[in-house]
Chain A
């Protein structure tokens, strides 16, 4: 048993729902008790969808157990087919129905519905949401793809690609797809289908008509992409175009596979991020410590952008989905940090507090952690929140996506000039540390002296070191948002040097030692 307060991922059938809800003309009959219908509100409230997810829940009750839950399933499937007339049906069980072993697959097959029925085996007690989405998409593609469909002769037509991975309830999937379609248009490449999002089962049947696949979200599309690679010999573009550098790599990879000229897309229309980052007002971003946590794909991409394109220092990197831990471990090596692979948000909170970052890039969960620690934060990954569905176009991918990253990561920080002003005015009687930083909004008072941020490092010998009164007074003159780091560094320095007391001398020696 695992003790969980908050979870990064839902159960695997929610992943299946994300696939079904993203598609058109598919219906999902889910063997499940009442209460599992809560999942509908994820789509109607968080994503503000104007239609119910295409899911029928059998809603069995205690009194049905052992008698006619199987009949209930068949009646629900029959009614759903009659009412919604889908082109294909997904059938499966939620966690409870998995235990009563009614075999939705066999029951549905016995009904002889005149449409393809795709049975889903999603082990709820082992797997989670992303895996469920991936498995569902893979099963759909495997069963619905018409293997006789292949690309037409190359002469006289533009190359065509499938975009794989976007679903309902995805982090900015809606906007990313638009951005990538624009890029492909500039390269003279057609989109055969986008799937699962927006695709019908009939579209999936035509998936083989594309020359290659573009895998936007490996967590969801990798399994299907690998099957397509084997079955249709479609090469896969695996670079995820988040950030300027990755977008350029992506364009190069696409151009090579499609045999087109990359130049029209490389022209970077609308890409302001490189200049914004070079502009002298961004100098203060140099070496800012950033802690990154999310799904593996977004976390790894964010680390590259933070390191190469904003000049941050990556001080922590991790993901909650073990399936992609290898990618995160490899990236962590690049930035010389210990990879954090966990789905326990308390462990993440500890790691963040320990790392004392100046910016957190994470999920909604890390946003709350950062709020408590008084550290600025930007959201880079699912699990999603209603705020992650902005009304405006706000992609993460492509050149416009890089612009969005610059704005959304840099704006939460205290700005460079603001830092100087705070230093200038720190002795002003009207200036109070307790007022906190205005950009964090009300309720974000600076942490009181006893909080995490400023408490002496409680680990190892550092805790035994005493602060002389004058050094303590001097420390108070440092702006609150760097004071915690200054204290920690000084204590570390003192313990390395074997000094028992921190006096003014030690404080400034440490400052010189850590000068960057």
Chain B
């Protein structure tokens, strides 16, 4: 791997991380994308904005989230010392709210009076509906019909919070299709509407902006591990669909001597074709406003992803991850549905923590490798969300695979 002076200065002014990223959007949206970028650049350096955001993160979300030593899991694996960054304890139950608060403050500053969002597992939809309730802004959430079926509790939560849910039937009715329809809504309502993207994907400035709003995870982790251990960790691990919880944990550590591991969903196995492993089994392409690794056929048509976890069920990946993969700064591995379900059960029984199925992918890989690592190896896993929403999916999976 070629060593750079810093891995933290991307994207360039044109919104690219190396080959990846960019602003591949229709002209109708382009002026607004530039406006969002300007507004975000202003907010980044604005003390009042940052102070207000920090206040909400502390008093509304409950930050900092704890860094918890998973002692029983560590003992069982008999290797690395494993810590969980407890994003599952945030208000709304996942890391998603960190980004939603940042963007809703930006939307308000830009004078937008309507918010739209896409959601897969529903965690981003719930977080968006939550901040929209808090700031009294009408909100429309696009969600694929497949995901509506498998994430019913989150659909009820969003409706209770006052969001309008629009079921998306095109494609396989999952996250990719929800994002297409959200983009179509945005093109049609560009003057009034703010598109609150939930992950580190989409056109520039979204990948950088969402990463920055999620970096609170890694910044807190740095301070907390110094307090616990007096030194930086040896490795970090997180699951990736679009990759926002992973970028949030990784970014503040990119220039340190820390091993970074991201876990994709390989569904029923990469060899079956039913997976969501865009870095391990995809190729560079352009979708949803950015160039990144995509699951696609030889003719450039996007292939539907598959994962038992709705939040990872996306045929692409954030462009900064594509770049980190390309230059070799982070390792990108994959975990199957079966491995994730087993890890979900292990974590629940050993630690009394029910993880989101997404986070269970990171746990599964930890279970695979931790035993071979030395006892003084400190590993931090981003427990990105809680698994209450996944009870039905896990029960159905276990029933079908008895």
Q: Do chains A and B interact in one complex?
A: no
A: residues with CB less than 8 A from B are: none
B: residues with CB less than 8 A from A are: none
